[in-house]
Amino acid sequence: MTPQKCGENSTQIKFIILEKLEKKETIQKILIGQAKQYLENTGSIVNFTLRFLKNIFSPPFEWRELLKQVYFSGYKSLFFIGTTSFIVGMVFTMQSYPTMSSLGTESWIPTMISLSIVREIGPLITALIFAGKVGSGIGAELGSMKVTEQIDAMSVSGTKPMNFLVVSRVGATTIAVPLLVLYADALGFLGSYFAFQSKEEITMYFFFNQAISVVTYVDLIPSLIKSAMFGFAIGMVASYQGFHAEQGTQGVGRAANTSVVISSFLIFVIDLIMVQINSFFL
Amino acid sequence: MQQTEAIIKARNLKKSFGENTIIKNVSFDLMKEENLVIMGKSGTGKSVLIKCIIGLLVPDEGELSVMDYNLMDIDADQLNELRRTVGYLFQGGALYDSMTVERNLKFPLRRFPDAPSESEIDELVDEVLENVELAHTKHKMPSELSGGMKKRIALARTLIMKPKIMLYDEPTTGLDVITSNEISDLILEMRKKYNISSIIITHDISCVDKTADRIIILDKGEVLNEGSFDEIRKSNDNTIRAYFESV
């Protein structure tokens, strides 16, 4: 190798090393930036939750707004949740029937379906639909209020937007989801009955009697507690996203969308934790 | 106009967002019953400044007191107390769009610790709606109102709390000339009627001409000039003269 070529090579190597160092620095900067962002977001969520908890017990108590929100979030979801639960009850029965029938255990279907619906399907279906319909609605409504400065307008008038907007909505979702779960359970049973009745001669009274006889408080209470936690998570996530919406209409859309995605994910996480806790007590 | 005592005192205020300094070294006083206009190009920190005054933002450095409340060291209860005596007219009005005009006006009053009775609130609502000449809109939703009407209702919503200070964030932006003039007249009328001190942020020279007792020009986050309308208008500074070219 000539001395000239050797010099060229070493210059090239120097460039490559410098380039790599620059890339390394850029990656480091990105990682630090992301870690900083993550910590800031976590801090913001913790701060929001603490403010929420503080405001639950501080007046004014927005009872009227709470009832209005229970009505809007609960009553207006009845059709979707009822229809979905009815269909799921039917489908679940139709899917189980051939297998159970081949084993000669079709008479267990009402019992099996009722426990599945009460313990798992009812709360899960209700919470997921509720997150999609009500969670996205809260995220979009509060997001829109945020970007049009309506939340700031409440703050500067010396009122507490946290009480009026967040505590009432989170309270409403926490109350509404367990109530909707009971309703979804009932319609799930009904769907199951119609599917079962198309295969076997059975009266509604007998089916429901069999289905309900196996459901105890040990099944129902944890299911309702879990449902209340789903409702709380949906309300909190949607309110947080709405309260922190930025950048105009795009931010409103993002708040609605993120509310559904995060609360749906949290529903499964809470479900998993609650199953573990429940099985520990059982 | 009496210029006896400062109702707002700001000294060497600085506010940054990340590495971006929005306002620096800003000092001014707002005297009792004075209309102080703050002018400046977009992004010079005018809105940030009044958001600091109402406690929506906290300055990084400096001193800021509003009617004996030290904004640099204030707790949530004190801040709410202060906010009940300071009105803020948002650029877009910020009316609560899920409520009727009447509920918009009643909303803050009903939540006061020493809230008036429902009949007193009804009287106050009628009074402020008369003042802004929109009594017929009482049962309308904000979506049924024009831009000018929204601004008037938003003004009524702040006036119902009988504020001692009003902060107007571009009160005439987006309005036609006639409505802009009406809003400017309303600002003067409200000062006369309720003895209000005001800070008005605006680009609208005719609004400045009508309402300003004193003007502050902000440029790149700093106070560039201060004086009466005529003093500022006669300035030799090209940046300042640019604002008045349309007059």
Please say if the pLDDT value at position B166 is more than 70: yes
**pLDDT tens by residue, A19-41:** 777 777 788 888 888 888 888 88
pLDDT of residue B173: 83
A44 and A131: one domain?
A: no
Determine the Cα–Cα distance for residues A250 and A245; give it in Å rounded to an integer.
9
Q: Please give the pLDDT value at position B229.
A: 87
Check residues A15 and A118 and name the one with the higher pLDDT: A118
Q: Give yes or no for residue A78 having a pLDDT over 60.
A: yes
User: What residues of chain A, 47 to 76, have a C-beta less than 8 Å from chain B?
Assistant: 60
Closest CA to B26 of B8, B9, B38, B10: B10
User: CA–CA separation, A88 vs A91, rounded Å?
Assistant: 5
Domain boundary among A40, A57, A74: A57
- Chain A contact set for B91 (CB, 8 A): 149
Q: Which residues pair with B15 in a beta bridge?
A: B23
Q: Give the confidence band of A258 by pLDDT, cuts at 50, 70, 90.
A: very high
Q: Supply the pTM of this predicted model.
A: 0.83
Give the structural domain span for A49: 1-57
Average pLDDT over residues B7-23: 92
> Would the CB atoms of B88 and A160 count as touching at under 8 Å?
no
- A124 versus A106: the higher-pLDDT residue is A124
Residues A272, A165 share a domain:
yes
Q: Are strands B165-169 and B197-201 parallel, antiparallel or unpaired?
A: parallel
Residues from chain B contacting residue A145 (CB–CB below 8 Å): 96
Average pLDDT, chain B: 89
pLDDT at B54: 93
Judge if A29 and A131 occupy the same domain: no
Residues A105 and A22 in one domain: no
Q: Given the structure tokens 């099985």, which residue do they identify?
A: A279
Interface with A, mutate which of B111, B159, B165 (most A CBs under 10 A):
B111
* pLDDT tops 90 at residue A179: yes
Please indicate whether, in this complex, the C-beta atoms of A148 and B108 are within 8 angstroms of each other: no
Taking CB atoms and an 8 Å cutoff, what residues of chain B touch A152? 56, 90, 94
DSSP B69-114: EETTS--HHHHHHHHTTEEEE-TT----TTS-HHHHHHHHHHTSTT
Give pLDDT, residue A7.
65
**Torsion (CA) A79, A81, A82, A86 in degrees, nearest 10:** 140
Tell me which chain B residue has its CA closest to the CA of residue A61.
B111
The percentage of residues in chain A with a pLDDT greater than 70, rounded to a whole number, is 97
Nearest CA in chain A to B77: A158
Chain A CB contacts of B84 below 8 Å: 157-158
Assess whether A182 and A208 both reside in one domain: yes
**Mutate which of A54, A150, A167, A243 to disrupt the B interface (most B C-beta within 10 Å)?**
A150
Write the pLDDT tens digit of every residue in B29-60.
999 989 999 998 888 899 999 999 999 999 99
Mean per-residue pLDDT, A216-229: 93
pLDDT of residue A83: 96
Share the mean pLDDT of chain A: 90
- Name the residue among B84, B21, B80, B22 with its Cα closest to residue B50: B22
**Neighbour tally for B171: CB within 10 Å:** 27
- The pLDDT confidence band at residue B1, using thresholds 50, 70 and 90, is very low
Residue A150 with chain B: CB contacts under 8 Å: 94-97
Looking at the predicted structure, is the pLDDT value of residue B244 above 80?
no
The mean pLDDT value for A203-211 works out to 90
For residues A53 and A99, membership in a common domain is answered with no
Task: Decide if B94 and A160 are in contact by the 8 Å CB cutoff.
Answer: no
Chain B positions contacting chain A at CB under 8 Å are: 54-56, 80-84, 86, 88, 90-92, 94-98, 107-108, 111-112, 154, 157-158, 161
Q: Do A158 and B158 touch (CB under 8 A)?
A: no
d(Cα B233, Cα B17) in Å, to the nearest integer? 32
Are A53 and A66 part of one and the same domain? no
Give the pLDDT mean for B228-236: 84
B67: chain A residues, CB-CB within 8 Å:
none
Q: What is the pLDDT of residue B246?
A: 54
Is residue A81 within 8 A of residue A126, CB to CB? The reply is yes
CB < 8 Å to A160, chain B? 80, 111
| Digit-coded pLDDT (tens) for B68-114 | 899 999 998 899 889 989 999 998 889 999 999 999 999 988 888 78
Question: Nearest 5°: phi and psi at B65?
Answer: -125, 140
Q: Per the CB < 8 Å rule, is A156 touching B107?
A: no
Minimum distance, in Å, between the CA of residue A215 and any CA atom of chain B: 43
Q: Which residue of chain A is at minimal alpha-carbon distance from B161?
A: A157
Contact B72, B59 (CB under 8 A): yes
CA distance B247 to B244: 5
Domains of chain B listed by start with CATH number: 6-244 (3.40.50.300)
DSSP letter string over A246-273?
-SHHHHHHHHHHHHHHHHHHHHHHHHHH
How far apart are alpha carbons B9 and A186 in whole angstroms? 65
User: CB distance from A94 to chain B under 8 Å?
Assistant: no
The two structure tokens encoding residue A121: 């399907």
Rounded Cα gap, residues A240 and B143, in angstroms: 26
Better-scored residue on pLDDT, A260 or A15: A260
Q: Does one domain contain both A233 and A134?
A: yes
Assess contact for B231 and B214: CB atoms under 8 A.
no
CB pairs < 8 Å spanning A and B = 59
A149 has a chain B CB within 8 A of its CB: yes
Distance to chain B for A66, nearest Cα, Å: 15
pLDDT tier at B136, thresholds 50, 70, 90? very high
> Mean pLDDT, to the nearest integer, of B1-5?
58
- Residues with Cβ within 8 Å of B232's Cβ and at least 6 positions away in sequence, in order, are B215, B217, B225, B226, B240, B244
Q: Could you count the other beta carbons within 10 Å of the beta carbon of residue A175?
A: 20
Q: What integer pLDDT is reported at residue B2 of this predicted model? A: 46
The answer to whether A259 and A238 have CB atoms below 8 angstroms apart is yes
- Tokens representing A260 are 């559904």
Residue A15: the pLDDT is 75
Give the pLDDT confidence of A3-16 residue by residue, as tens digits: 566 667 777 777 77
pLDDT band at B15; cut points 50, 70, 90: very high
Q: Is pLDDT at B3 greater than 60 in this prediction?
A: no
Question: Percent of chain B at pLDDT above 90?
Answer: 51
Q: Mean of the pLDDT values across residues A196-219?
A: 90
Please report the pLDDT score of residue B225 as a whole number.
87
Nearest CA in chain A to B88: A156
The alpha-carbon gap from A55 to the nearest alpha carbon of chain B, in Å, equals 12
Nearest-by-CA chain B residue for A163: B111
Compute the average pLDDT of residues A89-111: 91
Q: Mutate which of B71, B90, B104 to test chain A, going by most A C-beta atoms within 10 A?
A: B90
Whether A128 and A248 map to the same domain: the answer is: yes
Q: How many domains does chain A have?
A: 2
Same domain, A27 and A128: no
Instruction: Give the one of B80, B82, B90 whose C-beta lies nearest to A153's C-beta.
Output: B90
Residue range A237-258: mean pLDDT, rounded:
91
pLDDT at residue A1, rounded to an integer: 54
Q: What pLDDT, on the 0 to 100 scale, is given for residue B4?
A: 66
- The answer to whether residue A76 scores a pLDDT higher than 90 is no
Residue A147: closest C-alpha in chain B:
B94
Q: What are phi and psi of A110, to 5 degrees?
A: -55, -40
Of B182 and A192, the one with more pLDDT: A192
Is A225 in the same domain as A109? Answer: yes
In this structure, the answer to whether residues A178 and A257 fall within a common structural domain is yes
